[in-house]
Amino acid sequence: QQQVKQSPQSLIVQKGGISIINCAYENTAFDYFPWYQQFPGKGPALLIAIRPDVSEKKEGRFTISFNKSAKQFSLHIMDSQPGDSATYFCAASIRNSGNTPLVFGKGTRLSVIA
Amino acid sequence: KAGVTQTPRYLIKTRGQQVTLSCSPISGHRSVSWYQQTPGQGLQFLFEYFSETQRNKGNFPGRFSGRQFSNSRSEMNVSTLELGDSALYLCASSLRGNEQFFGPGTRLTVL
């Protein structure tokens, strides 16, 4: 079964600290790994995505690290701010051989406290 | 460019009724996917439409159906509503299938 396991379920980080959320997948055919951010009452918003041919991708304070051999990828939020408090979802899909639906992790509720 | 719009935003129905939700994708996007979001199960894929054809289908009962029109707008229908159908229903549109942009969702409550 195609699964994406996400941890932790919830995370509390001090303002200015680093938030780290981890995901692991089983299907080695996955070749597209996006992260979504969701605020209460809103739909998920695409934050950043990575393909397995690179080990890291950085956009502003957000970085995805990808470990193909371990079948794991993680989101790092540097200098975390209270405005980053939201639920974060990792996801995976197959892009190359026909677009398959996104398979989502269960989400991580991040709280950044001052 | 306008984002994905979903109507209605909130809906209250009773068991046994049916409901139709609507989604207008981002202009130029031809792929529309539907997801169900619940606290227990998270985000689960329902189905995807591309150029009026269902391209993928998730593991949901036949009570859940959808369609897409020639202007790429999509509707999903749930018949014979059950209490467990209470959820946030999200629509996502994409140009090429994977970079999906979500709407705000329709909050369905079944009493």
Q: What is the pLDDT of residue A94?
A: 87
Q: What is the pLDDT of residue B73?
A: 97
Q: What is the pLDDT of residue A97?
A: 62
Q: What is the pLDDT of residue A98?
A: 62
* Cβ–Cβ < 8 Å for A71, A26: yes
Q: What is the pLDDT of residue A99?
A: 67
Q: What is the pLDDT of residue B95?
A: 84
- How close are the terminal C-alpha atoms of chain B, in Å? 37
Phi, psi of A82, deg, nearest 5: -55, -30
In which residue ranges of chain A is pLDDT below 70?
1-2, 96-99
- Exposed, middle or buried: residue B79 (CB in 10 Å: 0-12, 13-18, 19+)? middle
Q: What is the pLDDT of residue B70?
A: 96
Q: What is the pLDDT of residue A96?
A: 66
Stretch (H or E) spanning A26? none
For residue A41, what is the nearest residue in chain B, using CA coordinates?
A: B104
Residues paired with A38 in a beta bridge: A87
Residues paired with A57 in a beta bridge: A64
Chain A residue numbers touching B60 (CB-CB < 8 A): none
Q: What is the pLDDT of residue B2?
A: 82
CB distance from A95 to chain B under 8 Å? yes
Chain center to CA of B96 = 18
Pairing of the two strands B64-68 and B10-13: unpaired
B97 CB neighbour count, 10 Å cutoff: 22
Chain B residue numbers touching A95 (CB-CB < 8 A): 97-98
CB-CB under 8 Å, B102 with A43 = yes
Per-residue pLDDT of chain B (111 residues; tens, 9 = 90+): 689 999 999 999 999 999 999 999 999 999 999 999 999 899 999 999 999 999 899 999 999 999 999 999 999 999 999 999 999 999 999 987 668 999 999 999 999
Coil vs helix vs strand at B108 = strand
For residue B50, what is the nearest residue in chain A, using CA coordinates?
A: A99
Chain center to CA of B72 = 13
Chain A residue numbers touching B33 (CB-CB < 8 A): 101-102
* Cβ–Cβ < 8 Å for B47, B59: no
> What is the DSSP code (8-state) at residue B69?
-
B94 CB neighbour count, 10 Å cutoff: 22
